[in-house]
Amino acid sequence: MRRITHYLYITMFAAIVLALAGCSVSAPADKEGEQATIAGVVDGDTVKVDYKGTEESVRLLLVDTPETKHPSLPVQPFGPEASAFAKETLTVGKEVRLEFDGPKRDKYDRLLAYLWVDGENFNCMLLEEGLARYAYIYDPPYTYQDSFEKAEAQAEEKGIGIWSIPGYVTEDGFESEAAASSSPEEPSDEPDRDCSDFDSHEQAQAFFESEGGPETDPHDLDRNNDGLACESI
């Protein structure tokens, strides 16, 4: 009886661990992933890499982050955060691996791939952090679709990132009206600040957002209007 009870506890514990695990994705073997080097970050879901002697744009498979550089759209909530997360994780010169799953290029001739960094699937990391939605499922089934769906569902349940704004995430992208209805608080009566008042970019970014950024920038901390404050710190 004790042995049965012990087995049941172990089974229940394993089930809980699996339920809590957002993206149980294993890194590919060498033969499944192709080596590349980060050359730059365009935004949260697009990066530049040196791949087989050529600089290529890579559009991350199955994820969509809010816009920061769209020619006809404003900077969207959590777009700057997704870009900052990508820049922090995918530093220039970092070795990564690309894994393809279906068509290798999109209509813009960008590579379509999962990006592995330090043994972690970066596409899935975006979903786990609430910085991307699971999207562009054109040619299923995909290798990691179950894990990606689970990671997205858990971020939504936690209400983090893009999921913190009711109605913001839709099947077609991100709803501007929902973001506007959940607009930041009115700017405070803080005295005028500049970048020299902060010790780090993170500190400046937090103040910038608390004062209404990126929609408003009363302290002129975002000089190039990319949604990021005091990037030079």
Tokens of 100: 């393809």
Identify residue 182 by its one-letter amino acid code: S
Helix (H, G, I), strand (E, B) or coil at 212: coil
> How far is residue 82's CA from residue 227's CA, in Å, rounded to a whole number?
11
- Annotated catalytic residue: which of 56, 81, 110, 156? 110
- Annotated catalytic residue: which of 67, 99, 152, 211? 67
Residue 110 is a catalytic residue: yes
- Annotated catalytic residue: which of 56, 59, 99, 193? 59
> How far is residue 36's CA from residue 115's CA, in Å, rounded to a whole number?
9
Q: For 12, phi and psi rounded to 5 degrees?
A: -65, -40
Residue 3 is a catalytic residue: no
Q: Quickly count: other Cβ atoms within 10 Å of residue 162's Cβ.
A: 27
Residue 2 is a catalytic residue: no
Q: Is the dihedral of CA 76, 82, 84, 86 positive or negative?
A: negative
Which residues are marked as active site? 59, 67, 110
